[in-house]
């Protein structure tokens, strides 16, 4: 049985690793000239780390990441609102390093870079993919080509990304910060926006900020840093200090796939990662969910003895409920954390301060639950 994969991001590479572990004949197509990830850092939770262990790359992953033990919410002046323990360790890793971890074990002849997908069609229980003027035939195809997936547009045309009404800026900087910023995520909330700081390693930090914005709001990349400094001028001066020492700023409109009861496959084409269950980054779950879907999909293929339709149905049954829940809560978190005025900020801060620890732990456990892999592999 021959398998095709479109997309060499976290979802595509995780799926390739799982297929390689299971002994499948597969080939992955990536449009870039090399495996790479646009962005800065990513946070992966304990369940994602466990899945990386199962795929044989957990040791490498831990060598190039650092443990994160707490999530601190503070006011714009750094006054602490609530420290939210992670209950289990999560890990901070540069996206490029994660891509390296996932791609390094793959056989060199199992993928093609600089791939231009020209045509995909299904016929005679096969999927025919035309790439760079060459035709390839597969028993089934795994689409992992991101939230703006061309494959989804063709085969699940009614599914479209939802603009969440928010925009995010991200960057990296080297700066000496107080030790209470070490091994944790700190978010400053207030004035209808928020600014987050996460240690990458040593004095290297990943930062991000979010605010409401129209979908096609114009901006000048050359002046983004100055715009942000003005936007966060009323926050603690440490924010502008971080911005001053950042070289590159990445701006991204935030989209997700609205939760719903829709199919995750079309005949012999199945979807994994952001192209079918993209969530906002507010709960740091995008990479975790991509890894889980990849692992579950290949496990279902083995469990169903390569009965493709039964495997795809089992995969969706095992994964869609949790993915929908994560999408919903991440979207809600993004809205709740951006209150419209000072009075609402104070109400939110008070609610967070006195929220029962047991309730927070219960909500956290939902994100690391791995019931979907039970009985597989």
Model pTM score:
0.95
Distance CA 162, CA 50 (A): 31
Is-contact 40 252, C-beta < 8 A? no
Number of domains the chain contains: 1
Distance CA 243, CA 226 (A): 9
Is-contact 127 269, C-beta < 8 A? yes
Q: Is residue 15 part of a domain?
A: yes
What pLDDT, on a 0 to 100 scale, did the predictor assign at position 56? 97
Angstrom distances, CA of residue 146 to CA of 10, 37, 142, 160? 10, 12, 12, 12
Q: What is the pLDDT along the chain (377 residues), one digit of tens a residue?
A: 999 999 999 999 999 999 999 999 999 999 999 887 666 799 999 999 999 999 999 999 999 999 999 899 999 999 999 987 666 789 999 999 999 999 999 999 999 999 999 999 999 999 999 999 999 999 999 999 999 999 999 999 999 999 999 999 999 999 999 999 999 999 999 988 999 999 988 899 999 999 998 887 776 656 788 889 999 999 999 999 999 999 888 889 999 999 999 999 999 999 999 999 999 999 999 999 999 999 999 999 999 987 999 999 999 999 999 999 999 999 999 999 988 788 888 888 898 888 888 888 888 888 999 999 999 98
Q: Is residue 354 part of a domain?
A: no
Distance CA 43, CA 135 (A): 38
Q: Is residue 168 part of a domain?
A: no
In this structure, what are the phi and psi dihedrals at residue 100, rounded to the nearest 5 degrees?
-65, -45
Nearest CA among 348, 345, 342, 335 for reference residue 166: 335
Match 């603009």 to its residue by tokens: 163
Distance CA 49, CA 299 (A): 17
Residues 6+ apart with CB under 8 A from 114: 30, 31, 32, 33, 132
Angstrom distances, CA of residue 159 to CA of 148, 262, 291? 10, 8, 22
Beta strand residue intervals within the chain, DSSP E: 2-6, 25-29, 41-44, 66-75, 80-94, 111-112, 117-123, 126-131, 134-138, 140-143, 162-174, 184-190, 193-201, 204-212, 250-256, 265-266, 269-271
What pLDDT, on a 0 to 100 scale, did the predictor assign at position 223? 76
Distance CA 370, CA 373 (A): 6
What pLDDT, on a 0 to 100 scale, did the predictor assign at position 140? 98
Q: Is residue 271 part of a domain?
A: yes
Distance CA 288, CA 51 (A): 9
Is-contact 312 264, C-beta < 8 A? yes
What pLDDT, on a 0 to 100 scale, did the predictor assign at position 290? 98
Nearest CA among 271, 310, 305 for reference residue 289: 271
What pLDDT, on a 0 to 100 scale, did the predictor assign at position 38? 65
Angstrom distances, CA of residue 68 to CA of 71, 186, 201? 8, 11, 11
Q: Domain range spanning residue 147?
A: 2-66+95-162+257-339+365-373
In this structure, what are the phi and psi dihedrals at residue 215, rounded to the nearest 5 degrees?
-60, -45
Distance CA 3, CA 138 (A): 5
Q: Is residue 190 part of a domain?
A: no
Q: Is residue 140 part of a domain?
A: yes
Angstrom distances, CA of residue 95 to CA of 36, 149, 355, 358? 8, 20, 33, 32
Nearest CA among 166, 165, 159 for reference residue 257: 159
Q: Is 177 exposed, middle or buried (0-12, 13-18, 19+ CB in 10 A)?
A: middle
Element spanning 125, H or E:
none
Task: Output the domain CATH number for residue 22.
Answer: 3.50.50.60
Distance CA 108, CA 96 (A): 19
Element spanning 121, H or E:
strand 117-123
What's the distance, CA 279 to chain centroid? 7
Q: Is residue 231 part of a domain?
A: no
Residues in the chain: 377
Q: Is residue 181 part of a domain?
A: no
């Amino acid at each position: 049985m021959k398998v095709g994969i479109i997309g060499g991001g976290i979802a595509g590479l995780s799926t390739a690793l799982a297929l390689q572990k299971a002994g499948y004949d597969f080939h992955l197509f990536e449009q870039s000239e090399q495996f790479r990830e646009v962005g800065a850092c990513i946070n992966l939770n304990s369940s994602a780390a466990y899945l990386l262990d199962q795929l044989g790359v957990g040791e490498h992953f831990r060598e190039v990441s650092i443990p994160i033990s707490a999530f601190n919410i503070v006011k714009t002046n750094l006054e602490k609102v609530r420290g939210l323990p992670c209950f289990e360790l999560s890990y901070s890793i540069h996206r490029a390093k994660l891509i390296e971890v996932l791609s390094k074990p793959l056989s060199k002849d199992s993928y093609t870079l600089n791939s231009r997908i020209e045509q995909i069609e299904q016929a005679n229980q096969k999927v025919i993919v035309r790439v760079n003027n060459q035709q390839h035939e597969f028993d089934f195809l795994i689409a992992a080509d991101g939230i703006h997936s061309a494959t989804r547009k063709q085969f699940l045309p009614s599914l479209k990304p939802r603009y969440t009404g928010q925009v995010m800026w991200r960057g990296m900087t080297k700066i000496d910060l107080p030790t209470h910023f070490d091994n944790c995520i700190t978010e400053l909330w207030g004035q209808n926006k928020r600014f987050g700081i996460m240690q990458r390693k040593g004095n290297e930090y990943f930062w991000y900020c979010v605010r409401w914005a129209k979908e096609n709001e114009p901006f000048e990349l050359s002046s983004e840093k100055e715009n942000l400094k003005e936007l966060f001028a009323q926050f603690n001066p440490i924010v502008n200090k971080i911005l001053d020492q950042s070289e590159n700023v990445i701006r991204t409109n935030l989209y997700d796939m609205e939760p719903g009861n829709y199919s995750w496959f079309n005949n012999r084409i199945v979807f994994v990662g952001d192209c079918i269950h993209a969530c906002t980054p507010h709960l740091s779950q995008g990479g975790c969910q991509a890894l889980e879907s990849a692992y579950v999909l290949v496990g279902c293929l083995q469990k169903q003895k390569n009965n493709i339709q039964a495997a795809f149905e089992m995969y969706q049954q095992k994964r869609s409920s949790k993915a929908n829940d994560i999408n919903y809560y991440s979207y809600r978190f993004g809205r709740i954390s951006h209150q419209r005025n000072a009075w609402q900020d104070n109400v939110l801060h008070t609610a967070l301060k006195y929220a029962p620890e047991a309730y927070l732990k219960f909500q956290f456990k939902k994100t690391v639950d791995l019931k979907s892999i039970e009985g597989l592999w």
